[in-house]
Amino acid sequence: MAVKKNGAQTVQFDNPPILLASGSVVGPKEGEGPLRDYFDIVLSDDLYGEKSWELAESKMLRESVKKAVEKANLSIENIEYMFSGDLLNQLMSASFAARDLAIPFFGLYGACSTLTESLSLGAMLIDGGYADYIVAATSSHFSSAERQFRFPLEQGTQRAPTSQWTVTGAGAAILGAYGDGPKITHVTTGKVIDFGIKDPNNMGAAMAPAAVDTILTHFQDTGLGPEDYDLIVTGDLASIGKEIAEEMMLDKGYNIAKVYNDCGLMVYDTKTQNTYAGGSGCGCSAVVFCGYIHQEMIKKNLNRILLVSTGALMSPTSSQQGESIPSIAHAVAISND
């Protein structure tokens, strides 16, 4: 049974769920980035043989799940729950993938925090004995996100220098009650934090306070600190948000700089790939985790990580109504020990 103090936001598992395998599918641009050799499938065309970017995104999500299941030596029928979400309105990508896969489905919306939201809930269901195997999967697509959240690509609108580049990619991770692999030891569930940032082209700044709140809470709840991790990695704060998060943590007495990185800065070479502040999207932490980090943990090059996917919960409607951007971050601690 899980250990949890009443009122704290962190669960520590007695039977830590095992990250058995991950699958990843990325677009052409991500396939040219520094992590290119870690992805299972790199697309040469971001339509992936479909008639719309939305359907292409859904296919990426579905194929990442199939790849993860295959790498775990399981079949789809073994997977008892699918926890999944994406950035599209009404979760078009996840809903259509879940239809094709026919796995009992919990649809989640945490914007770009969805990977750790799904891993958190999945881990509790495994530790609690409700399932032997679950899949946590999420996706985003540059072209479907641009036209939904910003402007149609055909319009050729100029980008702000603080803007981020939505990752075209899907990642899926299989959690099991048995087997070999790194283990989820803790989950820290975030609150919605809003420091009043209203610029949807500066999401890193909006999300940084949420990441800081969750990382601080994780440290306070567990007694752990930066020295206990090889890598603390946020989802998609990118260059501006990462700097803010580092400074805010320092103000609170924690120097995380030595072990801290952000998936949005890892997935692209921001100097040569013209991605402005860096990557973003549900797919950002999904492909960096399911591609790079999980494999490096299996190779024991990384042994203790804190994965903190970060979500900006604004909608085009809320932005148009002049509202600020509520943000959230969920943390998952993963260990080889």
Residues lying near a second copy in the complex (CB under 8 A): 1-2, 4, 6-7, 9, 11, 51-52, 54-55, 77, 80-81, 85, 88-92, 95-96, 98-99, 102-111, 117, 120-121, 124-125, 127-132, 148, 189-194, 313-318, 321, 323, 326, 328
**Position 199: which residue type?**
D
CB of 116 to a second copy, least distance (A): 11
**Position 181: which residue type?**
G
**In terms of Cα–Cα distance, which of 282, 236, 238, 230 is closest to 256?**
230
Place of tokens 């992936």: 48
**Residues 52 and 91 sit within 8 Å (Cβ to Cβ):** no
Task: State the CB neighbour count (10 A cutoff) for residue 147.
Answer: 15
Rg (CA), the chain: 18
Dist CA 254 CA 17 (whole Å): 29
Dihedral sign, CA of 62, 118, 234, 329? positive
C-alpha triplet 315, 328, 55: angle, nearest 5°: 50
